[in-house]
Amino acid sequence: MRYPALFAPAAEGGYVVTFRDIPEAITQGDDDDEAMEMAEDVLVSAMDFYFEDKRPVPPPSRPEPRERMVALPASVAAKVLLLNEMLAQKVGPSELARRLRTSPQVVNRLIELQHATKIDKVEEALGCLGRRLEMRVV
């Protein structure tokens, strides 16, 4: 998952970075490299708002001129897809735990961004929702 970001020159130097799809994500950096690093970090941090509020994460839109793409780490992107599918199907942690034949605590860790989760577990959870996780190299 890659989100378009606008890297606008700041009056005091450096860049202010904003994401039109994820308005909670705003940051800045003193130079291009730092701005990109900060953009990657704030994008992941902004995902917490959606997870805490149990709101669907907006999908990335196509970039507009002057925007650059900022990627979510694969582990975060997989959890975003799982959260969005759970919300779309109105399946809570207890129901998903029943389908996975595990405890709700295990499912809660699956959708906790700070918890290191094996991608296979997210894939298995999506399978219980009738979905398939696909990856590709570009």
Q: What are the structural domain ranges in the chain? A: 2-71, 74-128
Average predicted confidence (pLDDT) for the chain:
95
- Domain 2-71 sits in CATH at 3.30.160.250
Please compute the mean of the pLDDT values over residues 9-30 and round it to a whole number. Answer: 95
Q: What is the pTM of this model?
A: 0.91
Q: Is 113 helix (H, G, I), strand (E, B) or coil?
A: coil
**Is 102's pLDDT higher than 90?**
yes
Which 8-state DSSP code applies to residue 65? Answer: T
pLDDT digits (tens, 9 = 90+) for 56-72: 999 999 999 999 999 99
Q: How confident is the model at residue 135 (pLDDT cuts 50, 70, 90)?
A: confident
Q: What is the pLDDT of residue 77?
A: 96
Distance separating alpha carbons of residues 34 and 28, to the nearest angstrom: 8
**Is 137's pLDDT higher than 90?**
no
14 torsion bin: left (phi>0), alpha (psi -120 to 50), beta (else): left
Which 8-state DSSP code applies to residue 30? Answer: S
Which 8-state DSSP code applies to residue 11? Answer: T
Q: What is the pLDDT of residue 136?
A: 83
